Amino acid sequence: MIEIDIREKSFGEHDVLGNVRLEIAAGECMAVLGPSGIGKTTLLRIAAGLEDDFQGKVVRPGRIAMVFQEPTLLPWRSAADNIQLITNVPVEDVKDALERVGLTGKQNHFPDQLSLGQRRRLSLARAFAAKPDFLVMDEPFASLDKDLARNMIDLTVELLKDTQIATLLVTHSETEAGALATKVFRLEGQPAMLTPTEVSS
Amino acid sequence: MSFRKADPRTAGSIRVRLISLGLLVVGWWAFAVALADPEILPSPLEIARLTARELFNGPLLYNLGVTLGRVVAAFILAMAIGTVAGLVMGRRKAVDTWLDPWLLFFLNLPALVTIVLCYLWIGLTEVAAITAVAINKIPMVTVLIREGARTFDPALDDMSRIFRVPRITRLRHIIAPQLAPYFAASARTGTALIWKIVLVVEFLGRSNGVGFQIHLYFQLFDVAMVLTYALSFIAVMLTIEFAILQPWERRASRWRQA
């Protein structure tokens, strides 16, 4: 169980997050919707442990993986190395991880030799190869065209199926939230707080 | 992916460089012929003859080795200290604020002053010679590596923290490749600067090495031998540049052309 209990987070005089409480059970996917600049990424960075200058407490497991807004790959290493070096999984698992996201045969390609869609898949493959207990996704399908985004959402649903991964998805897209999440919240106000919301899946 | 093809652009560029170098030798030869005074400017052929004589029957090889040893020792020392200092200053704002005035001071300290002070304080020893050269080079390495550290991609930092990438893997596969172009640039400017300072250090306070030999033949007003020793060492340094530094730099930035 991931427990996020933020009382306050501010940058200087500017209060970004107010009282934010969120609990994510194993196998559950929570989505947080909100416009740009509302504090979604700050919430996510706190949840992931990248930001510890806040008032409150977060209980999270040891194994965390993240899918970033940009693929955030090592451009100087091959696709296979990008998984193996970062997640430290055995070589045979790397092959499987690439296969699951449709990148069979691309193990020796450098990220710059892959299309944006393929780089996103590689980033997804890396996250799942790490076998996380907690998966954090920061606008993972932003800047993709509609078809490619749909394709990536389906792939993520497929990868999450039958796992016990607790997932926190931050997005501004109701479609993404509806397709992936079991519960959806909206981050709004000043300072921002969470309110449950319904979106069509 | 592992095979490599000869790049026609590299081959073409090597040809142009060789022709350019050839033209320099031809120009020198023409000038020497026009001057017709071998005591002021001997011909390339005469220098080649003297080089062969010093190489096979003289102390050229020994002195080249001694100077090269000092260059390598000062280079390793300067790169090691400069890299650590540059990394820390580039990554820690507070340290940078504290150490930046020192860096400016040492950047503006003339090489000659450092050399003289090192000889006065430490004595006319090998340690003083290498320390003096390293002190001259460290600030430049620090500045370049600091620039490199400042350009690190923060997203890769976040990624490695999230995935708990072990420190050694992070250093080798995330930090080092980002630093490689800056490291290569400081290594190349480093060797060029270091060997020139090593010659001055030898000129002023050592009893062997290419700088000492140049000092010796300077006192005898022997232009031909000064050129013989100077050009031999330039040849050694150019070989290192083309055989080691440039291929290494190309390899380090191979992924950029992928």
Residue B86: its pLDDT value, please? 95
Q: Round to whole Å and give the CA distance between A185 and A199.
A: 9
Contact criterion met (CB below 8 Å) for A47 and A4:
yes
pLDDT digits over A49-98, tens only? 999 899 999 999 989 999 998 899 999 999 999 999 999 999 889 998 99
pLDDT digits over B152-202, tens only? 999 999 999 999 999 999 999 999 988 888 888 888 888 888 989 999 999
Residue B255: pLDDT band (50, 70, 90) is low
Residue A100: pLDDT band (50, 70, 90) is confident
| Best residue of B151, B161, B162, B168 to probe chain A, by most A CBs closer than 10 Å | B162
Question: A41-46: long-range contacts (C-beta < 8 A, 24 or more apart)?
Answer: A41/A138, A41/A170, A42/A9, A42/A16, A42/A17, A43/A4, A43/A6, A43/A17, A43/A170, A43/A187, A43/A192, A44/A136, A44/A138, A44/A168, A44/A170, A45/B158, A46/A4, A46/A6, A46/A9, A46/A17
Residue B142 CB neighbours (<10 A): 27
Q: Can you give the CATH number for the domain in which A46 is found?
A: 3.40.50.300
Residue B139: its pLDDT value, please? 95
Strand A29-33, strand A64-67: pairing: unpaired
Residue B256: pLDDT band (50, 70, 90) is low
CB contact under 8 A, B255 and A77: yes
What φ, ψ does residue A144 adopt, rounded to 5°?
Answer: -100, 150
Its pTM stands at 0.76
Q: Chain A residue closest to B180 (CA)?
A: A76
Average of per-residue pLDDT values in chain A: 89
Residue A201: its pLDDT value, please? 61
pLDDT at B1 over 80: no
pLDDT digits over B235-250, tens only? 998 888 888 888 877 7
Residue A145: pLDDT band (50, 70, 90) is confident
Classified as helix, coil or strand, A7 is strand
B2 token code pair: 């592992």
Length of chain A: 201
**Residue in A45, A110, A136 closest to B258 by CB:** A110
pLDDT at A129 over 50: yes
Residue range of the domain that includes A43:
2-197
Residue B3: its pLDDT value, please? 40
pLDDT at B2 over 60: no
Residue B226: its pLDDT value, please? 95
- pLDDT exceeding 70 applies to what percent of chain B? 93
Does B38 lie at the interface with A, CB-CB under 8 angstroms?
A: no
**Residue in B161, B169, B258 closest to A112 by CB:** B258
Contact criterion met (CB below 8 Å) for B187 and B247:
no
CB contact under 8 A, B258 and A113: yes
Residue B11: its pLDDT value, please? 65
Helix (H) / strand (E) containing B138: helix B126-150
pLDDT at B5 over 60: no
Residue B17: pLDDT band (50, 70, 90) is confident
- Per-residue pLDDT, averaged over A14-20, amounts to 89
Contact criterion met (CB below 8 Å) for B149 and B89:
yes
pLDDT at B59 over 50: yes
Q: Round to whole Å and give the CA distance between B138 and B80.
A: 9
Q: Which residues of B touch A124 (CB under 8 A)?
A: none
Classified as helix, coil or strand, A103 is coil
Residue B4: its pLDDT value, please? 44
CB contact under 8 A, A66 and B159: yes
Number of domains in chain A: 1
pLDDT at B14 over 90: no
Contact criterion met (CB below 8 Å) for B191 and B241:
yes
**Cis bond upstream, residue A191 (ω within 30):** yes
- Structural domains for chain B: 61-257 (1.10.3720.10)
Residue B103: its pLDDT value, please? 94
Quickly tell me which residue has 């700088």 as its tokens.
B211
Residue B244: its pLDDT value, please? 84
